[in-house]
A and B are shown apart, each in its own frame.
Chain A
Amino acid sequence: MTTSSNLVYLIALPLFSSAILLLLGRIADKWGHLVATLVSASTFVIAAVEFFAMRQRSGDARAIHQDLFTWISVGSFNVHASLLLDQLSICFVLLITGVGTLIHIYSIAYMSHDHDRRRFFAFLNLFVAAMLLLVLGDSYLNLYVGWEGVGLASYLLIGFWNQKPNYAVAAKKAFVANRIGDVGLSLAIMIAFAQFGTVSFSGVEAGVPHASTAALTALGAMLLLAAAGKSAQFPLQSWLGDAMAGPTPVSALIHAATMVTAGVYLITRSHFVFDASPTAQTMVLVVGAITLLFGALVGTAKDDIKKALAASTMSQIGYMILATGLGPVGYAFAIMHLLTHGFFKAGMFLGAGSVMHGMNDEVNMRRYGAIGKVMPITAITFGLGYLAIIGVPPFAGFYSKDKIIETAFNAGGAKGVIVGGAALLGAAITAFYMTRVIVLTFTGTKRWDDEAHPHESPSLMWIPMVVLAIGSVASGFLFNSGHAMVNWLAPVVNAAGIHDEKELLPPLTVSLLALGVVAVGVAIAILKYRTNVAAEAPEDVSILTKIVRRDLLQDDFNDRVLVRPGQALTRFFVAMDNNFIDGIVRGVGGVVAVSSTNLRKIQNGYVRSYALIMVIGVLALIATIWMVTL
């Protein structure tokens, strides 16, 4: 393994710039965004240099390692702050710094009217630093620091306009849901330490063959819980929709391209655990399959363009999680879909932001219509992203998603049919809701008020969109040509020699099948939304539609099962503390007070009664002595 001293700058630069921008305050208002963008760009340059250097080396020498300092050392619990850049993490580093820089550039224009733009850029830099730490840490505990760090950055950015109560609530909801996942990661680290005496990736990997299956399943389940929290997977998915309260560039960077995919990274990074525990792997598969359908269904009923895209993100990450649950053969496709998704989804979010920018922050697609004519660049870039996500060849999504569907069918037996079917069904629904978004927004008749004056966004905004659109077009082909991605990642995920699997369906059949269902989805959406779109969502709809509109009752469920019992429990404990526990304490005090009040009555001030008591006392004393001496 090679060592390097450059990795730390990837994290230190944005962290430092973020701290400086926050500490300097208003002084930095004029140039803060430029510094932040420059820093982000320089991390991308470092990442690119490291990537090409890595390509020059071969095999085992590709991974590089940097040991910074001893972080925690207590007894046998020894954790170094050290970084690891290998074939897996470089993919993420390039995505984070690349898309991150584009979004920094976009935000310069998007946030130009905001009083607190400097603070926004400081938070963006903080996010980049934390996300890079997440993917570069060489142990679960280092990863955990980045893991919570991105949670913090996400919280700060969702609640960037926290003077609006709803946004503040959304930020809090995201943090708390993430924290539930963090319990999983904490427990996973504890299990790892109790089992293997170390929490580094390599140490755990080395120890896996010696551990019991039960321990590995528990470890896998906890890692999956962590991934579900961060990646908005079932059953911790409910925060992602609300997270759209943040500024749109944030939704593009954090809640589409990078942070929410951290769960996929975690599972891929811990492939040795899941490979050794079929039960844990099945759980991953189930969670992925449920979420991909859940997100797709929710997406069909959203009128808010950002929430429709958020539901889509949830669904697409479901595909990735599903792929990681398919074993060694799936990891590379999960990462491939993650990267292509990073391009097309970030591009579409930026497109949505561009539309909102031109439409006075209107997000309801029923008030859009015919925007393609006034915002051609936005429409074209968005359209390219759309073709990518529904999987039309030769756009990026075709390669990555088809591979996942194909691998799912090949998983074997009933399992293969079920998850493959789910993935195929998901592709059809995806085609439906994405077509719906496109039709409602860019085509048809104009439904906006006369006060809105939609116009094409400035070049600082459309250039990043164009770059991402190019990625949405070309990346899939690049990753797939000559199994580039599979071969690149093979050493990391132990996936050498996986091409001779028994196939349930030949690849061509799967592709045609997928294209067929996609065509059906597209056709239904066009027929349904081509004309006669009401500016208000119709109320006379079936109960099923109502349920889907309420996000399949996810919030109602959480409210009934978690929030209200929790509030009741809190009230009960407060009452118990005031009345029972402190009541006992006050009761003891009260008994003393009552007894002394009663005893005070003896002290009535009459000399004769004192004399009487004295006489009685003397008599009692004499009687006692007399009885004792007898």
Chain B
Amino acid sequence: MDISNYLYLSAILFTIGAVGVVVRRNAIVVFMCVELMLNAANLAFVTFSRVNGDLVGQVASLFTMVVAACEVVVGLAIIVTMYRSRRSASVDDASLLKR
């Protein structure tokens, strides 16, 4: 089985995620795209773990999952607060930083 197919899949997933982050406005979708990128990275980690025959990559992917879980908690909390205050989940409405 060719190892590069896994990596291609990982790259495609990452790109889809990245494009999604850049083009979508709904905060939930953006968030999901970020998750997609994280999981694309996880896939790459696991693949390299398999290739190298050790567990370092798998440990890293577990580590990533933990971090992702934390991020989901914090991120969703922010999105909920945002939605409560301005009745919208669009990230473009949160452009106050430019002033």
- A-side residues, CB < 8 A to B, are 603-608, 611-612, 615
Contacts and interface: CB of A to CB of B under 8 A. Distances in A.
B7 to A, nearest CB: 15
B18 interface: yes
B22 A605 contact: no
A605 B18 contact: no
A611 B34 CA distance: 11
B23 interface: yes
B1 interface: no
Interface residues of B, number: 15
B23 A615 contact: no
Contacts of B25: 608
B98 A607 contact: no
A611 B22 contact: yes
Contacts of A605: 94-99
Contacts of B21: 608, 611
27 contacts: A603-B97, A603-B98, A604-B95, A604-B98, A605-B94, A605-B95, A605-B96, A605-B98, A606-B91, A606-B95, A607-B30, A607-B91, A607-B94, A607-B95, A608-B21, A608-B22, A608-B23, A608-B24, A608-B25, A608-B30, A608-B92, A611-B18, A611-B21, A611-B22, A612-B22, A615-B18, A615-B22
Given A608-B22, A608-B25, 12 more contacts: A603-B97, A605-B94, A605-B95, A605-B99, A606-B91, A606-B92, A607-B95, A608-B91, A608-B92, A611-B18, A611-B22, A612-B22
B80 to A, nearest CB: 17
Interface of B: 18, 21-25, 30, 91-92, 94-99
A572 B48 CA distance: 77
Contacts of A606: 91-92, 95
Contacts of A608: 21-25, 30, 91-92
Contacts of B97: 603, 605
- List the 10 shortest-distance A-B pairs measured between CB atoms, nearest first: A605-B95, A605-B98, A612-B22, A607-B91, A605-B97, A611-B21, A608-B22, A611-B22, A606-B95, A604-B98
Contacts of A604: 95, 98
Contacts of A615: 18, 22
Contacts of A611: 18, 21-22
B92 to A, nearest CB: 6
A8 to B, nearest CB: 79
Contacts of B24: 608
Contacts of B92: 606, 608
Contacts of B30: 607-608
Nearest to B91: A607
Contacts of B96: 605
A603 B30 CA distance: 20
Nearest to B33: A611
Contacts of B98: 603-605
A604 B22 CA distance: 14
A609 to B, nearest CB: 8
A249 B24 CA distance: 99
Nearest to B18: A615
Nearest to B98: A605
Contacts of A603: 97-98
Nearest to B97: A605
Nearest to B19: A615
Nearest to B22: A612
A612 B33 CA distance: 14
B19 to A, nearest CB: 9
Nearest to B95: A605
Nearest to A600: B98
B51 to A, nearest CB: 21
Nearest to B94: A607
Contacts of B91: 606-608
A611 B30 CA distance: 11
